[in-house]
Chains A and B, each alone.
Chain A
């Protein structure tokens, strides 16, 4: 299975290596560097690179390449999934997963990696178990440890590892018992030039933050579970119950977790909450182009659209842009040719617009393609699919928890072709 792991930053330095079997020389990464040089952008580095004796499987996150070295046949997704789990664990432990943070916490990182794999096969990947084995560093604990000489390493067998609910710690205690559920839906859409929808779908997740004492058994039911077309669950959800009753029944992990992700069935038409009017033109003769976009609300069910940002990769021929926004701020990076406009909230009375001119490379012919516009926005208190949580019940514990549900709609991969 996984032989070794190398962490490589974007400038090509190996800043951490870990071997689970016999040591693989770091020169094996040269094949990776070669591929990295060939690829124009970091995300274009192929995730799987064969070398004469090894295979390099990599993921790229937080500007770090996590390169796993394997020697024999193994399902590639197995390794990739594991690497992502490693990143998630680091994030969970340190808040952010970046090169300096990993370097600062190199010992904890090493201990965690040691526990996650045994002989290259995943051993403990549930963050609950790991946190019982190796406590995440906090400022307080660091101070306490230096004074008392106690350690970060637990000497107890993580009970979760043996229990029937491995994702939950035992003996959890809270003074305020609360359970929050965020229903977040993302709209993935491609809008074509004329404003009509090429494809649109809704993907949703329910993220939960559950801080409940003891072993609560929760059930969550929906008003309209039929909307959910394709679902994937956290392992804690009882699948049979869902199949038969369309009720989510689970003993939750402690803390933050993703309970469910779902896809809204394709039959339902997707309401597109915003529209973009655009007129981008390059003239052949002059070295100036006109640029104008306006963003407006469409079907928002009466809710305000917030956090709107517009990003667009301009053609290479554009040297600079002089634009004036009616609201918000905009930047144009002449090197990467990336235009971004932070609009903020859309006021339906006065639609935000961005107007101006583009200066093009002199003498070059006009670019033959128009840039696509990527849109981000947020709508609070609305699940665009209409999904509604009916009720949340708790069994198995005596106290009354505080329950909260929040809805939000966001733009997922929302693209407007011009």
Chain B
């Protein structure tokens, strides 16, 4: 039907389409170049040319290019040469400029939708052209026409195959791109091979292209699905943000049902999300929404149980949500003793990592996050999306349109969310009508007892709008407000009745229709209104309104016994002139009156029925016949006619006025299907929450070999029964140290230390598992067992280590106070992220405390959100204690403990300039006692003059913003030849700006400045290897700076390297399994951002230095300094 309707439209625009068709027909004669041009073809040329080219370009190229054309001489006067021929000629020349010109013209033809397929052979020859622009245009052509000329397209394949091997990644990628874009089924195997190869390419850009190619191949040949899924699986494991978006897109197109492929990559995707480009973010978020729906429990299941009743009382509209949830709840609550809901940490991870994206500039991303929150977040948290959605209303009208559609759906379920933004939905006269109507919908949904007066006042202004469609919608909206909110029903009704005197007929008609619906709710009280309406029949011409009035009068004729027959009389007169819908209602009215008041209306009814009997419309004739049989008693006495009264005057339920967006939320919000309220092709149903959470351990990821534990004994204790096989640490470790013999003694010791650090993080994992599985009892037993096992192992390694298992909570409080202290400090050392956790003195309370902190521990380390707290900076004395108590290895600590010596004194004030007073300073690298954000600076004064220097103090400093100084106490007097030392603290605000201040003596002032090397702006942090890796994983992308360097021969030994690095920067060494890698960690003093430094020394002096830090400036400078230190 719609197709048929198309035809007229097609006829209307013969210009464009005609030309197109003509060209297609032209294709065949043109293919054989000798064939004479069709007569109409010439006629088309000039006009076409004009459109294609800019005027000046056109004329010049025409002259210069067609001049030398051999055919030009033939018929320049009246018939132009066949243009495709000269294009071919141009393509055949050796000149790149001519080729380019030809290709440009051809592309312009394609852009116009003209057929250029006959040029295929000529164009395809140039696929190997050197000129890159020609090449690109040839690609454009090829992709467009290869499908139609498959055999010829094969000619180009070898070029691309060569391109796939090119050393330049751009060429590899573009070759793959074009190869996969030409839709020729024969080359499917070649494509498959190319994709597979590209998927393991070194360049992430090529891998991204491979991900893009997957859906192309799939659409060409869906039999390849299994192989493609393998590639997808491989690419999903890719860690670069560049690939993530594209591969998820491929996943969604090829195998959206294989949700199991996501498990292992779930956490990685969540963490990468913020760095993925916007388009990828949208795809990933909507996929993760679906994933979360299958893997986690509903966060609202408990709330709905609690809130069910009050909600019912308060909001009519939310009733059925509560009902839905209630029934679900009923089903689940029959299960014995349901455990209280605890949100899966992975679920939380998703919510937390998507939240910042609400601030994205891309409307699509904001919408994606909004729908994720709407579908996945607990009720209390959904509110955050409202603000962002309201912000989108400032955007382009198309964006507004889509957003409002979604807001309309959301506002039905979660009205409270948008209530504060009510005014943002007020309508401006300049809004397009479709936006106005959607805003009206939202306003209506948001209206409640309290805000209805403002809303109605606003509606009043809308009614006077010039846009009549909008006015009609407003009247409908008023009707809905009236039905929803009982309090204002009368007000609305009165308002609508006033509208009945409006001059605009449409407004009146719409009001009548709405009034009719409202009256049905409480007809008894509104006889007056019905009378008023009855009078309107003389004036209103809109059929729907007339019909509504007639229906009302008929229905409530007992309220207006005198008027009703009169109305019928008038209607009978005009019956023949009425519209069908009105006629039907006249019959209806007549029948009803006949039944209630047959005395007055018998004749009228019969008259009407007779008129109807000969009506043109069969429907009306049928209705008349039927009615007559029913109401007029005849001899036969139909069984039904006795019940006629019951049939006609049965009480009718009032219609429910409800939003058209009511049940739309079963579609995923933000989707096309939701917008259209119909399932679009390829729409993936949003699954319901599972009753029971699937096994959360499937998401545990094997962390690629970075835990190197050389101690075989230790490894054994971490055998399978406790940790699931994917538990990360155990797997890779096995392979990592295949030759433990080769490692030095000190190494094995350090790794035993790393093992202890590790064990604490492990115990977290344990706890997390515990949390997830909620198998408290059995679990703790196991962990106790585990703890014991570990304890025995530990004892072999070093004494005093057993304390570490006390944080398992299962351990009793037997350890001495000393070992307790050890466990505490060890924990700090193991995981700086856990500094906020209070380690309770007795093991008994530990589990409870941990349960709370666990959520934070796993991945919530806001290093710069909260100020660094003193415990992170392990004071040297504590470090010394640690050394004595737990660490048998001394190779790490010294570098931390003796930093002062490594940084020499620097001159602050020369003896000459200071008139005898010489001042030096040095960075002591000790935490400044007053303020942990300050760098502590030792100042050494020495008096070389012959008179004492008195009253040494710091004058009022004039400091740049962000820098503050803690002055040293005034030095009363410094005798000649004497020296003194003072300590002052400077907060450099994480910048290397110099702190300028005055050094005052009693009678002099010296301007001095201290500029810190970047390495002094931080303090070491102890962390385990695991911690380090985890933190490093969070600081990729922009925060990672990598530099290559060559280590001189002097820097080959461990000791030297470590010393050089720690001398340059105040960092703590992080244990590391491999001998060739050095890791250091620290936090900047002011903001407490992590600074992670990795030096990967390869044989022959080559090395790579990586610094991960949020403070990119610091990172860059640090790299510079460290390299300088190492290479000198």
Contacts and interface: CB of A to CB of B under 8 A. Distances in A.
**What 4 A-B pairs have minimum CB-CB distances, sorted nearest first?**
A72-B682, A151-B133, A157-B170, A199-B423
Interface string B1011-1051: 00000000000000000000000000111100000000000
Contacts of B503: 365, 368
A125 B428 contact: no
Given A122-B279, A263-B391, A78 B364 contact: yes
Contacts of B368: 75
B367 A77 contact: yes
B678 interface: yes
Interface in B50-70: 51-52, 54
Nearest to B208: A123
A239 interface: yes
28 contacts: A14-B113, A17-B112, A26-B20, A50-B678, A55-B676, A72-B683, A73-B671, A74-B672, A76-B675, A80-B364, A81-B364, A82-B279, A103-B52, A106-B107, A107-B107, A110-B111, A111-B136, A119-B213, A121-B246, A153-B136, A164-B1040, A165-B1038, A239-B359, A240-B1110, A258-B361, A368-B504, A395-B1113, A396-B1112
A107 B399 contact: no
A106 B278 contact: no
Nearest to A365: B503
B426 A190 contact: yes
A52 B140 contact: no
A243 B356 CA distance: 9
Given A14-B16, A75-B367, A75-B672, A235 B361 contact: yes
A3 B113 CA distance: 15
Given A121-B279, A153-B136, A230-B388, A75 B1037 contact: no
Given A243-B356, A263-B387, A417-B461, 17 more contacts: A1-B249, A22-B147, A26-B16, A72-B680, A73-B681, A77-B367, A107-B107, A153-B133, A157-B169, A161-B205, A162-B203, A162-B205, A162-B242, A164-B1039, A230-B391, A251-B1038, A374-B429
Given A76-B675, A119-B181, A162-B204, A316 B278 contact: no
B434 to A, nearest CB: 6
A232 B140 CA distance: 37
Interface in B7-28: 9-10, 13, 15-17, 20
B429 A73 contact: no
A30 B429 contact: no
Interface string A76-119: 11101111100000000000000000011011011100100011
- Classify chain A: how many residues form its interface, as a range: 35 or more
A119 B212 contact: yes
Interface stretch (B96-104, B263-271, B297-305, B619-627): B96-104
B430 A415 contact: yes
A243 B359 CA distance: 11
Contacts of A44: 432-434
Contacts of B361: 232-235, 258, 261
B236 interface: no
Label chain B's interface by main secondary structure: helix
A47 B672 contact: no
Contacts of B391: 230, 232, 261, 263
Contact of B9 (A34, A123, A245): A34
Contacts of A303: none
A315 interface: yes
B363 interface: yes
B684 interface: yes
- Classify chain B: how many residues form its interface, as a range: 35 or more
A239 B428 contact: no
Interface in B165-193: 168-170, 177, 180-181, 183
A199 B136 CA distance: 53
B54 A75 contact: no
A15 B865 contact: no
Contacts of B2: 52
A71 interface: yes
A30 B388 CA distance: 36
B991 A13 contact: no
Contact of B96 (A149, A192, A231, A395): A149
A78 B683 CA distance: 15
A17 B680 contact: no
Contacts of A395: 991, 1113
Given A119-B215, A121-B279, A199-B426, A27 B359 contact: no
Contact of B676 (A48, A161, A243, A415): A48
Contact of A80 (B96, B137, B399): B399
B961 interface: yes
B424 interface: yes
A372 B461 CA distance: 11
Given A239-B356, A243-B865, A118 B671 contact: no
A192 B462 CA distance: 12
A121 B672 contact: no
Nearest to A200: B423
